[in-house]
Amino acid sequence: MFCRLQPNVDTRQKQLAAWCSLVLSYCRQRKLYTLDVLEAQESPVFNNKKIERKLSVEAIQVVFEELRKKGNLEWLDKNKSRCLIMWRRPEEWGKLIYQWVSKNGMVNSVFTLYELSNGDDTENEEFHGLEDWMLLRSLQALQTDGKAEIISMDDGKGVKFF
The verdict on 56 and 124 lying in the same domain is: no
Per-residue pLDDT at 1 exceeds 60: no
3 falls within a domain? no
104 and 150 co-located in one domain:
yes
Other Cβ atoms within 10 Å of 63 Cβ, number:
23
| pTM exceeding 0.85 | no
pLDDT > 70: percent of the chain: 98
Radius of gyration (C-alpha) of the chain in whole angstroms:
19
Q: Does residue 63 fall inside a structural domain?
A: yes
pLDDT tens column, 6-25: 777 788 889 999 999 999 99
In a domain, 2, yes or no: no
Range 94-108 burial, b when 16+ CB lie within 10 A, else e: bbebbebbeeeeeee
Mean pLDDT of the chain: 92
Distance CA 151, CA 134 (A): 16
**Residue 1 covered by a domain:** no
Residue 69 structural domain:
9-85
